[in-house]
């Protein structure tokens, strides 16, 4: 008799318009006021922009998190950067490495699309201390009001 236990399967994939309800739910978990209609508009805009994408994490087919990234040009740095616009992992799946995996996927995408750095803004505010700790833990360094990580 075998006591094999199957581990949950994590899948990372590109977001689709049909995900707008899931992303809206994730945003509401962090008390961000969002409607599915507004999220659909944002996702349509992202889908039409070759310099932006949203990626989803699923655990056994259930959406567990999302990351949005775009290539930006900043006055602070001469090279293009991949900026994280959104990173949310459902409360149910936090501290399981999903955020780290989403960021790694975004880093790959950003590098492939010409980004020299990965940039996060807003994570260093006092109310986002948990996010700041997370980003610093995975290799980002605080630069003024930005967190930046060199892409490979």
List all residues 6 or more positions away from 60 whose beta carbon is below 8 Å from its beta carbon: 8, 9
Q: What is the pLDDT of residue 5?
A: 63
Encoded tokens for 135: 């980003």
Q: Give the tens place of pLDDT for each residue, 107-148.
A: 999 999 999 988 887 655 555 777 777 888 888 877 666 677
Split the chain (152 residues) into runs of 10 and give each run's mean pLDDT.
67 90 89 86 92 94 93 83 91 90 94 90 63 81 72 82
Is residue 87 within 8 A of residue 76, CB to CB? The reply is no
Residue 14 CA to residue 24 CA, distance in Å, equals 16
The model scores a pTM over 0.95: no
Per the listing, tokens 């490495």 go with: 97
- Three-state secondary-structure class, residue 6: coil
Helices (H), 13-97: 20-29, 36-48
- Three-state secondary-structure class, residue 138: coil
Read off the DSSP letter of residue 114. Answer: T
Give me the domains of the chain, ranges plus CATH numbers. 10-150 (3.40.630.30)
What is the average pLDDT score of the chain?
A: 85
């Amino acid at each position: 008799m075998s006591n094999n236990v199957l581990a949950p399967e994590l899948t990372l994939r590109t977001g689709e318009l049909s995900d707008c309800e899931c992303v809206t739910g994730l945003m509401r978990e962090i008390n961000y006021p969002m409607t599915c209609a507004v999220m659909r508009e944002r996702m349509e805009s992202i889908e039409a922009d070759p310099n932006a994408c949203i990626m989803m994490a699923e655990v056994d087919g259930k959406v567990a998190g999302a990351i949005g990234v775009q290539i930006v040009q900043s006055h602070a740095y001469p090279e293009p950067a991949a900026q994280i616009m959104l990173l949310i992992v459902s409360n149910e799946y936090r501290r399981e490495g999903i955020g780290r995996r989403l960021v790694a996927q975004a880093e790959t995408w950003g590098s492939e699309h010409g980004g020299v750095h990965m940039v996060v803004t807003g994570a260093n505010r006092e109310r986002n201390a948990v996010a700041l700790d997370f980003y610093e833990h995975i290799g980002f360094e605080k630069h003024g009001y930005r967190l930046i990580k060199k892409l490979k």
